[in-house]
Amino acid sequence: MYKFIDLFCGIGGFRVALEKQGMECVFSSDIDKHVQDIYYKNFGERPVGDITEIPERKIPKHDILCAGFPCQSFSISGKQLGVNDYRGRLFYEIIRIAQYHQPYIMLLENVKNIVSIDGGETIKTIESKLDEIGYNVYIHVLNSSHFGVPQMRERVYFVCLRKDTGVEYALKYKKPKELFKKIYLENIMEKEVEKALYINRTDIVMSDKEVEHQLRPIRIGIVNKGGQGERIYSPKGHSITLSAYGGGVGAKTGLYLDNKGIRRLSITECKRLMGFSDNHFVSNGVQGYKQLGNAVIPPMIEHVYESIKVA
């Protein structure tokens, strides 16, 4: 049985995906106390805290290292300081641990903006460091809308395969093939949600154009001036990217039309849009939305992992 570690684990997206593949998680880490509590409820173990304080020798031996390393320093909604920001420098914790343990595979995830920030210098640095410690690196921007998840969420997936595994265990990787499955937001929306999710405004402007099903968000109206969090979308399309920090009246989920009005998405709907089961625990209220907005999508990790083949 392959063993893996779950760094910056959040609510456990990598773990859900790899345990489904029959693997064993032997170590998890996250500094967020709310996340630690929720991870314990889901998996029966509490992640250790600040990874910078954990000696690499105290981390169990593992075959696969997983990390959705903190993305705020690379995100277009942040200051874009890249690896010069503290959160960006946490990438070097991955390097430190991988250099010591030399896992066969590393699966890393981050925001799309990481490939262009700092004129491309950040991604070059990341590739160079991974190469230096002995890994072939494959980098793809994948959109979950194309893989049977009704959320437009573009993320960068890094597949890092150790170079010296030998002929018998040589690993190869091929970009996952898009599914273009015809699933839409309306297929996962709840029929009854709490009234607090609905908005009642006098500054709503709706389009009267006919809408057809599409594998992308379909804007059909605005609130106020139509800024971030003020756009209304059709359930015949996909959701916008769920966000941990978005603002506006449709904060974190966007606004959507159903048969009762215009509303934000429920926590359960957000779980479904992130590929988690309805029974997966998250915190209540704003913390829960934040945790989901920061998570990786388990089905996307499965697609990426399944694209690694033994030669």
Q: Which amino acid is present at 24?
A: E
CA distance 189 to 179: 21
Q: Where are the beta strands (DSSP E) in the chain?
A: 3-7, 24-29, 64-67, 105-111, 135-143, 154-162, 171-173, 204-206, 219-223, 231-233, 255-258, 261-263, 308-310
CA distance 30 to 18: 18
Could you say which DSSP state residue 15 is in? H
CA distance 214 to 237: 5
SS3 of residue 14 by DSSP: helix
Q: Residues near 307 by Cβ (< 8 Å), separated by ≥ 6? A: 159, 173, 174, 175, 176
Count each helix (H run) and each strand (E run) in the chain, helices first.
8, 13
Q: Which two tokens stand for residue 248?
A: 């506006």
Q: Bridge partners of 221?
A: 206, 232
Active-site residue numbers?
71
CA dihedral 247, 252, 256, 261 (to 10 degrees): -70
